[in-house]
Amino acid sequence: MKTYLTGMTPTGSPHIGNFFGMMQQTIALQDEKAKRYFFVSDQHTFTSKRDPEEFRKNQRNVMIDWLALGIDIEKTVFFTQSDVRAHTELAWYLNCITPMGLLERAHAFKDKTAKGMESNVGLFTYPVLMTADILLYDVTTVPVGKDQQQHVEMARDIAQRFNHHYGETFVLPEARILEDVKTIPGLDGAKMSKSYGNTIPIFTDEETLKKKVMSIQTDSIAMGDPIDPDCTVMQFHNLFENPNYDMLVDKCKNGDVGFGDLKKELVGLIWEYFTPARERRIKLEHDETYLRECMMKGAVKANEKAEEVLGRVRDRMGLGKHISPLPILNQK
Ligand code: TRP
């Protein structure tokens, strides 16, 4: 049976581009017959962010966002990386068999430092922590966007090196590339992306949503002029499956509708589309007991598996299988 694992780095509030890009596909994996681990890769954020308050906020919010959008903890082991100490321990062992040259070839590191990001050792060795994230759960398949493909290939390479040196220990993972099935335009018509500041957030109040939608850039047209049915506003009507879409296309072509009306209708459409998730999110935000229970359940299951694999690793390397039982394992 396949085992999926995917990590979500908490970097702020998710937007519509994230949803139709990766989140929706990731959530849909829950309908497949497979084992699944989804985790919040919070420790990865320290390579570039150091504000403890913001960290806590993002760590909590990303968990609530994913639960609200449809992660089902009965189908998926959903946990937070920093609740499983084995990730950082394994990363050290893997660091020691990873050649410098392998990491020097990482596109992400080169891109980030070229853009002026501080090049600390954590940023350099981040693919090794990611490798540990993957190898700890005997993962066969890692669903990721194209930008992460090289990192999964590195994980496979590092696992092979370890197996070659110490004997069969790790399952070799493969990437499953999640294609950008749809390119989601931002407010300015370019690809929606946090770095362009052109996003529409998923979870927001109606007033903000309205302002955002009203600010979608459009051609200036006179009353009665036709509208391009492929314009950004109409792309959104299509994406959000407006039942009147075909009728609107005709109206656009005939000059029977203006951007103001199209945008107003769009606000209602987006608002309704995310209403169930928004309502779940509001409930979750106020249910500390349930949230803690989710985190605990995930942490216990993840630690169980991670300790099994780490024990295998330690044993191969000549260490004792386990240090004294970890406190977390006694909390069951
Ligand atoms: N690096 C991934 C990202 O930035 C997140 C991530 C961390 C991840 N560890 C992982 C993804 C392990 C898949 C598997 O999106």
DSSP 285-319: HT-HHHHHHHHHHHHHHHHHHHHHHHHHHHHHHTS
Going by pLDDT thresholds of 50, 70 and 90, the confidence category of residue 263 is very high
Query: How far, in Å, CA of 200 to CA of 216, rounded?
Result: 10
The two three-digit tokens of residue 118, written as one number: 């501080």
| Contact 149 CB / ligand 1 (< 6 Å) | no
Residues 78-128 pLDDT 10s: 999 999 999 999 999 999 999 999 999 999 888 888 988 888 999 999 999
Domain(s) of CATH 1.10.240.10: residues in the chain = 204-273
Domain 3-183+288-317, CATH homologous superfamily name and number: HUPs (3.40.50.620)
Q: Cβ(271)–Cβ(206) under 8 Å?
A: yes
Catalytic residue among 2, 75, 194, 297: 194
Domain topology for 204-273:
Tyrosyl-Transfer RNA Synthetase (1.10.240)
pLDDT at 321: 86
The two three-digit tokens of residue 138, written as one number: 């005997």
Domain(s) of CATH 3.40.50.620: residues in the chain = 3-183+288-317
Average pLDDT, integer, range 161-179 = 96
Q: Cβ(165)–Cβ(37) under 8 Å?
A: no
Q: Is the pLDDT of residue 183 over 80?
A: no
| Contact 307 CB / ligand 1 (< 6 Å) | no
Which residue has the least CA distance to atom 5 on ligand 1? Answer: 7
Query: How far, in Å, CA of 305 to CA of 311, rounded?
Result: 10
Query: How far, in Å, CA of 110 to CA of 102, rounded?
Result: 12
Q: Is the pLDDT of residue 1 over 90?
A: yes
CA of 327 to the centre of ligand 1 (A): 27
Instruction: Count other C-beta atoms under 10 Å from residue 216's C-beta.
Output: 22
| Contact 45 CB / ligand 1 (< 6 Å) | no
| Cβ-based neighbours of 91, under 8 Å, separated by 6 or more | 125, 128, 129, 131, 132
What is the residue-averaged pLDDT of the chain? 94
Residues 125-142 pLDDT 10s: 999 999 999 999 999 999
